[in-house]
A and B are shown apart, each in its own frame.
Chain A
C-alpha cells in the first residue's frame, strides 16, 4: 500500500530566501494590527466590558422575530443594545453596563423578563458587574504576559540565547496577528479568547521548538555550515512532521468549527487560524530571524555543546 506523503521525503526548498517577502509582510500585518487595534479596538464581550447578555430561544409554536426583539430591547432605554441572530431561531441580546451599581443590572433583567418571557425561553443569562470585568481584564493580561515570560525562561535554560530570542519573536508575532484577527473579524473577545491566545502561545512555541531542536542538533553536526543553509536544512528536514501535525490539529479544529456548536465557534475559528499562523511564523519568521541576530554555527559555541552529541557528530 502506498502511504500518504504530505511533503516530499527529500526536499531542498530555500525557505530562507522567502524572508524577503515574509518579513515585510509580517511587519506590515503587525503594524496594521496595532493601528487597527488602536483605531477600532476589540469587540469586548461582557466578561471584560461588563453588562448583561441574554440568549433567547423561541418557545414552541413561536417564530422568532429578531426585528421585533431589537425594537423592544432598544425601547428599554438602556443605551446601545446589540441584538444578533444565533441560528435555529435563537437571539442574543447584549445590554451595556448600567450606572447605579448592581441594582442597575438587576433592572435590566427584570425588564427583559417582563418583555420576552411570553414568547421566549431564557437559554443563557450573564451579568458581569464593573469590578469583576475590570479584574478579568487584569488577570487576562497578566496571564498572557506571564506565560510569555515563563516560556522565555524555560527556553533560556534549554536553548541558546539566540534560539530563545527567535522563539519569543515568533510567539509575539503570533499573538499580535491573532489579536488582529479579533479586531478584523469582530469575533467577541472574552475569557475564552484569552484561553485561545494562551493555547496559541503554546502551539506557536511547540512549532518553533521542534525546528530549533533540529537546528541545535545540526549545528553540532555541521560545524562549518553557513547559517542560512543550516536553517534551510533544519526546516526542510522537519517539514514533513510540521505539515502532518498542522494537518491533524487543523482537521480536529475544523470538526470543532463545523460541529462544536455556536457557543465555542469563535474560539474554534480563532484556534484554527492560529494553527495556520503559528506554522507560518515558525518557518518564515522565527527561523529566518536567527540570521539577523547572528546565530553562529560551529566553533563559537563549543562551550555549550552537549557531550552526548559528540559521537553522532563523528558519524
Chain B
C-alpha cells in the first residue's frame, strides 16, 4: 500500500506551502507589496509576510556591468616612487648621500653608496624599511615586504618581494572598491553591486544605467590631485607634464608635491565670481591647510600647477598666501565636468590605475523584451507539457501536472529566499526543467503500467512503481546535478543563473514528483478504491 507517515506528509506539505508563499512577492511590484503590508491590521505579525522578490539580472532589467583590473605595472610604479621618497628620508636621517641619486626600477629602487663606512651607516635604516607582511585573513605571514640586497661594489637594491607586492595588490583592490562605491553612490545611481573578482579584479554592476560610458569614465579615472609648483627650467627634479592650458603641450613641473588630494575634506562644484565659469571649490583638512598655507606663502608670485592624473589642469599664479584651507580649481570645465571632478575628489583617489577589461550593457528595452519573451515561452511550454501529460496518463497526469506547477513555484520561492539572480538563461533553465521534471513521474507511471500488465494487484503495482523507479530517479537526477554544479562553479553571470535554476529544479523534483504525487495518488486510491487503474 501507498502508506505515508503523517509526520512525513505534514512536513512535505509545510515545505511546499512555505516555498510557494516565498514565491508570491515576485509576482507583485514593490509598491503593491508595500501597500499590502500597510493594509494589514496592526496586530498582524508582518515578519511572517514574505517580501523578498526575485532579483533580476542585468540582462533582464537592463544596466551596465564592467570589470576593472588593477594595473599592476602602474601600482608598481607608484609603489616605487613612494619607496624612493622613503629611501631619501632614510638616507637623510643617516646623514648619507647616494652617488648619483636613487633610480626607480620596475619592481623597486636602486642606489649606490661607494663609501663603505657611509654604507654601513645607511644599511640598518634601509633594512628597517622592509616590514613584515600582514594579511587581513592570515595575519603575520613571516614574509617581508622588501628584499634589500647589498653588493660589494656599493650597489644597493631594494625590491618588493612577491608576498609584499601581492599584499599591496590586495589592499589596493579593497581600497579601490571603497573609492568606487563612494563614486557610484555620489553619482546618484541606485543599488550598485561592487564585488571583488579573483585577485586583482573588481566587478561593478549598475542596474538601469543608461550611460555606461560616463560610468566608465568616472571609475577609470585615478583622480590623483596634486598641487605642485611650475618649474622655471626643465632641469633637475622636474617632470614634464601635458598642460590643459597649453593644449596638451608639455610644461615643466617641480617633482615636489606641496599638497595632495588625500588632504581634502570636501569638494563642491561652483561658479567663479568674476568669469562665471564652472569651477570646483575644495577644502583642506588641518594638515593640508598648514602645508598648503606654508607652501603658498613661500612662493608668492610663482605659478602653482594643479595636477590631476598627471595632467596640469590649470596653473594659476599665487597672488597671496592661501591660509584658510580653501581654494578653487579652474580649468575651462563644463558644468558636467566640474560636477564629475568634485565627485571624484570627494570620493578620493584610486590607489592605482584601473583598466576596463570587460563591459556589458543591456538597454532597458531589450531587458523588457527578454522578460516578455521568457514569460511567453514558459507559459507555452507549461501548457504543452501539461496537455501531453494529461493525454498520456489521465488523472495520474493531472497529479503530475499539479506537482509540476508546485515545482516551478518552489524554484521561484527558493530563488527569492537565496537572493539568486534570475537571468535570461535562467528562464531557459526553468523551461528546460518543466520538460525534464515530468521525467520522474513518467518513470514511475511507466513502471506502474508494466507492473499492472505483469498482473499485479493495483496497490502492489503502485507500490512497486514508486519503489523501483526511485533508484532510477536518483541516478538520473544525480548525473544532471553533477553537470549543473560544475556549470555553477565555472560559469559566470547569466550562465551561473542557469546553473542555479537547474540545481534547484533537480532538488525540488524529488519533493514534488516523488513525494507529492505519491501522496496525491495514495489519497485518491483510498477514497475511490478503483477496480482498474486508469493508466
Tell me the minimal C-beta distance from A315 to chain B in angstroms.
9
Q: Does B56 contact A (CB under 8 A)?
A: no
Q: Does B1 contact A (CB under 8 A)?
A: no
The verdict on A263 contacting B370 (CB below 8 Å), with A209-B472, A241-B443, A251-B385 known, is yes
- Cβ-neighbour of A202 out of B382, B438, B483, B534 (below 8 A): B483
Interface string of B328-371 (1 = CB under 8 A from A): 00000000000000000000000000011111111101100110
Closest chain B residue to A204 by CB distance?
A: B479
- Cβ-neighbour of A255 out of B361, B377, B475, B499 (below 8 A): B377
- Which chain A residues border B483 with CB–CB below 8 Å? 147, 151, 198-199, 201-202, 205
- Which chain A residues border B479 with CB–CB below 8 Å? 151, 154-155, 202, 205-206, 209
Are A143's CB and B490's CB within 8 A?
yes
The stretch from A3-11, A35-43, A71-79, A287-295 touching chain B is A3-11
A-B contact count (CB 8 A): 242
Are A267's CB and B425's CB within 8 A?
yes
- Cβ-neighbour of A245 out of B370, B436, B487 (below 8 A): B436
A237 to B450, CA, bound (A): 8
Are B486's CB and A146's CB within 8 A?
yes
Are B428's CB and A147's CB within 8 A?
no
Are B471's CB and A213's CB within 8 A?
yes
Q: Does B321 contact A (CB under 8 A)?
A: no
Q: Does A57 contact B (CB under 8 A)?
A: yes
Are A3's CB and B486's CB within 8 A?
no
Interface string of B412-450 (1 = CB under 8 A from A): 000000000000110110011011101100110010011
A129 to B68, CA, bound (A): 11
Q: Does B393 contact A (CB under 8 A)?
A: yes
- Which chain A residues border B431 with CB–CB below 8 Å? 252-253, 255-256, 260
The A-contacting residues of B in range 490-526, CB under 8 angstroms, are: 490-495, 498-499, 502
- Which chain B residues border A238 with CB–CB below 8 Å? 446
Are A251's CB and B384's CB within 8 A?
yes
Q: Does A140 contact B (CB under 8 A)?
A: yes
Interface string of A114-145 (1 = CB under 8 A from B): 00000001111111110110001001101100
Are A3's CB and B391's CB within 8 A?
yes
Are B358's CB and A127's CB within 8 A?
yes
A217 to B470, CA, bound (A): 13
- Cβ-neighbour of B435 out of A3, A213, A237, A253 (below 8 A): A253
- Which chain B residues border A10 with CB–CB below 8 Å? 453
Chain A residues within 8 Å of chain B by Cβ, number: 79
The B-contacting residues of A in range 91-125, CB under 8 angstroms, are: 101-102, 105-106, 109, 113, 121-125
Closest chain B residue to A54 by CB distance?
A: B361
A128 to B388, CA, bound (A): 43
Are A192's CB and B427's CB within 8 A?
no
Q: Does B394 contact A (CB under 8 A)?
A: yes
- Which chain A residues border B424 with CB–CB below 8 Å? 261, 263-264
Q: Does B213 contact A (CB under 8 A)?
A: yes
Are A3's CB and B393's CB within 8 A?
yes
Are B495's CB and A194's CB within 8 A?
yes
Closest chain A residue to B65 by CB distance?
A: A126
Tell me the minimal C-beta distance from B197 to chain A in angstroms.
10
- Which chain B residues border A254 with CB–CB below 8 Å? 384
Are A102's CB and B480's CB within 8 A?
no
- Which chain B residues border A105 with CB–CB below 8 Å? 356
A213 to B213, CA, bound (A): 56
Q: Does A273 contact B (CB under 8 A)?
A: no
The verdict on A241 contacting B381 (CB below 8 Å), with A199-B502, A202-B484 known, is no
- Which chain B residues border A252 with CB–CB below 8 Å? 381-382, 384-385, 431-432, 434-435
A125 to B438, CA, bound (A): 38
Tell me the minimal C-beta distance from B215 to chain A in angstroms.
12
Q: With a 10 A CB-CB cut-off, give which of B394, B428, B442 has the most chain A CB atoms.
A: B428
The verdict on A57 contacting B365 (CB below 8 Å), with A213-B472, A241-B442, A252-B385 known, is yes
- Cβ-neighbour of B439 out of A132, A151, A155, A206 (below 8 A): A206
Name the 5 nearest CB pairs between A and B, nearest first. A261-B373, A249-B435, A252-B381, A202-B483, A252-B435
